[in-house]
A and B are shown apart, each in its own frame.
Chain A
Amino acid sequence: MDILLQVLANGLMLGGLFAIVSVGLTLIFGIVKVVNFAHGEFLMLGMYGTYLVTSALGLHPFVAVIAVVPVLFILGALTQRLLIQPLMASGDDHIQIFATVGLSTALINLALLVFGADIANTPPHGLRAPVEIGPVRVLTGQIVIFLAAIALVVGLQAFLARTQTGRAIRAVAQNRAAAELMGIDVKRIYALTFGIGAACVGVAAVLVAPLYPTSPNSGTYFVLTAFVVVVLGGLGSIGGAFAGSLLIGLIDSVAGFYVGSDMREIAVFGVFLLILILRPSGLFGSRLKLAHVSP
């Protein structure tokens, strides 16, 4: 019984990790309708940023949030403005995908050039310390990630629902042409949304860096699952992505222990395929709105 609880706890913590990484991705997909394949590399850059701030200044890694989040916001907004926006005019969505894949490869190799292929270790400052909750043992840093993921999801939902800008963002997502007619600056909203999505992954990077070694490939380790989670939760549904993350985390952990670690991915992707067959729009997704594509 204790072991089962530990397995479930591990699964939830893993789910929290997937959630915090994929929130930004799902936001960008839901609003800008661009699949950002460079998302993992944004995470990787954020992790290096955290590493630099922490090891150079000797500060607690969480302090790095002050630097990393704004930098990633700007990086995201610039990506949208300089890379994606010009391609949107071409009318072919596939080109944007190729562009983000290109950006991803470029960023990995840039990191290789600047930081080398070796791993960088952000000092954990006590975040690796285990916490015992009843029979279950998890890391302090994992709990922080889990809580931060919830806060980020709730915060983003409130921002989208309550604020003027949030409403404008949703309007653009629903119908770009109509939003433009209502006087919304669509290009600005896109850049803003992309920036917010990147900033979210900046938050994730700061929290993840003390727990995982950083290397130029770090992003690729997380991002495949993040895509699964985003599709599973329903494209663009932030709450759905969170639920999808927990589900994937639990399946991964339970299958890894009771079935065998070589079967983990089979279990995860098996469930993923099953859900896609039964509910093509994901767990919580409504039908994908592609109003901006049709004239």
Chain B
Amino acid sequence: MRKSVVAASVAAVVLGLAAGAARADVKFGALYPFSGQLALLGEESARGLELAVEEINAAGGVQGEKVVLVRGDAVDNNQAIGEARRLISLERVVALFGTYSSARSIAASQVAELAGVPYFELGAVADEVTGRGLKFLYRTNPTAEDMAKLAVEMIVNKVAGGLGKKPEELKIGIIHEDSNYGTSVAGHQKKYAAAAKLNVVTSQAYPASTVDMSSLVLDLKRRGVDIVMQTSYQNDSVLFLQQANEAGFKPGAIIGGGGGYSMQPTADAVGHGVIEGVLDTDFTQFLVNTKYTPGIEGFVEAYKKKYNGNPRSGHSLNNYVGAKLILQELNKTKGFTPDTITKAMKNLDVKAGTTAVGYGFKFGTNNQNERAAMMGMQWQNGKLVTVYPDEAAVSPMQFRK
């Protein structure tokens, strides 16, 4: 009697294991800052990844297996490293997705590189992420350099004409927060501006935690700057726009870079009247020509259904498209060894204008998506609408008369 019970339970356990093995979920790591200061956009980024995985699973998974995401909380650089280690060695994920924050990405991807596990960066913009020549790191999203390139392109192609001047007649002021992010974007802005023969009259850094930018505003005003390019986070974006307005400084155009400039609370904080006409370079946003971004409406629908609200920024969209294309590509191959994954990525080839983010996908030098590009947006009537490039624009770029 007792023996048979034991035998039965052993059999049950074995069967259970076997059943588990047959279903064999395939695990991927989702490494984002889910708590701490970067939690808001970290979580927003992860939502895009989750939606991509849900869609893939609903369509039969990858190679017939269900994709399971294991979360790792990259609350700071040390923890990003620790969590990457845990995901790789304990959870045995076949690859990692991440990370939103460049610093976390740079730290965690080193762990993955040493372990020989592919790491897919879907949202961090710093040059160094792909600039280190890592073999297992791939980046799908546009970079700090793309952001600067687009801003200068916009000035030359659109803004100068809109202000009724030649590009080289404009006085350009570059201001940026003084961490790695602002400094690298500003550096590229200077480089591209010089190449386009633009007249950059000043370039100034300030700490992002500043509580006063009035002297900087006065300085720009005194120099008669026509176009301000600011690379900033939210606090300093709000501060600059408010203090410029209060000091009566009204340049021909203000071009913000990502972060604070793309967020609705920034517009609400500054006031819709004050932010009217301010330009912004960033990831693809939602008020965009849907012919150029097929699939974006379906994404927003799915997002609303799952999270009961509109996407809070373009981060979710970029993560969604990047993750979806990678998982689809993995579906075309067999197995999840690092070798098969890296081989599969060589075949990824998607044209611009065919994805929900607009830009295309092909991994080039250093595994950076060489087709990734940012878009130009403008605040019009309290909304962030896409105005550049023309094929993605929903509204013409407007200028202060």
Report if A and B associate in a common complex. yes
Q: Which of A's residues lie within 8 Å of B, judged by CB? A: 3, 6-7, 10, 14, 17, 108-109, 112, 116-119, 121, 128, 130, 137, 139, 212-213, 215-217, 220-222, 224-225, 252-257, 260-262, 264-265
Interface string of B12-43 (1 = CB under 8 A from A): 00000000000000000000000111111100
Q: Is the CB of A128 within 8 A of B246?
A: yes
B41: A residues at CB distance < 8 A: 117
Q: Is the CB of B212 within 8 A of A252?
A: yes
Complex Cα–Cα for A14 and B213 (A): 10
Nearest CB on B from A257, distance (A): 4
Complex Cα–Cα for A3 and B242 (A): 19
Instruction: From the candidates B39, B175, B212, name the one contacting A112 in the complex (CB within 8 A).
Output: B39
Nearest CB on B from A100, distance (A): 19
A112: B residues at CB distance < 8 A: 35-37, 39
A217: B residues at CB distance < 8 A: 37, 209, 235
Nearest CB on A from B22, distance (A): 40
Interface residues on B, range: 35 or more
B247: A residues at CB distance < 8 A: 137
Instruction: From the candidates A3, A117, A119, name the one contacting B39 in the complex (CB within 8 A).
Output: A117
Q: Is the CB of B215 within 8 A of A256?
A: yes
Instruction: From the candidates A3, A108, A222, A262, name the one contacting B205 in the complex (CB within 8 A).
Output: A262
Q: Does B234 contact A (CB under 8 A)?
A: yes
A213: B residues at CB distance < 8 A: 234-235, 238, 265, 269
Nearest CB on A from B75, distance (A): 9
Beyond A118-B312, A221-B209: 13 further Cβ-contacts under 8 Å? A6-B218, A109-B35, A112-B35, A117-B37, A119-B265, A137-B247, A139-B246, A212-B239, A213-B234, A224-B209, A256-B215, A256-B219, A262-B205
Q: Does B355 contact A (CB under 8 A)?
A: no
Closest to B220 in A: A261
Q: Is the CB of A7 within 8 A of B39?
A: no
A117: B residues at CB distance < 8 A: 37-41
B40: A residues at CB distance < 8 A: 116-118
Q: Is the CB of A261 within 8 A of B216?
A: yes
Complex Cα–Cα for A215 and B237 (A): 14
Instruction: From the candidates A118, A119, A261, name the one contacting B204 in the complex (CB within 8 A).
Output: A261
Closest to A252 in B: B212
Q: Is the CB of B211 within 8 A of A3?
A: no
Q: If A118-B40, A119-B269 touch, does A262 touch B204 (CB 8 Å cutoff)?
A: yes
A14: B residues at CB distance < 8 A: 211-212, 214
Complex Cα–Cα for A264 and B218 (A): 14
Q: Is the CB of B215 within 8 A of A261?
A: yes
Closest to A113 in B: B35
Q: Is the CB of B37 within 8 A of A119?
A: no
Closest to B312 in A: A118
Closest to B219 in A: A257
Nearest CB on B from A148, distance (A): 17
A225: B residues at CB distance < 8 A: 211
Interface string of B256-284 (1 = CB under 8 A from A): 00000001011011000000000000000
Q: List 8 A-B contacts (CB under 8 A).
A: A109-B35, A112-B35, A137-B246, A137-B247, A213-B265, A256-B215, A257-B216, A265-B207
Interface centre among A118, A252, A255 (most CB of B within 10 A): A118
B178: A residues at CB distance < 8 A: 262
A128: B residues at CB distance < 8 A: 242, 246
Complex Cα–Cα for A175 and B175 (A): 51
Q: If A119-B269, A216-B37 touch, does A3 touch B212 (CB 8 Å cutoff)?
A: no
Instruction: From the candidates B204, B211, B213, B218, name the one contacting A17 in the complex (CB within 8 A).
Output: B211
Q: Is the CB of A261 within 8 A of B219?
A: yes
Closest to A124 in B: B271
A255: B residues at CB distance < 8 A: 215
Q: Is the CB of A262 within 8 A of B206?
A: yes
B269: A residues at CB distance < 8 A: 119, 121, 213
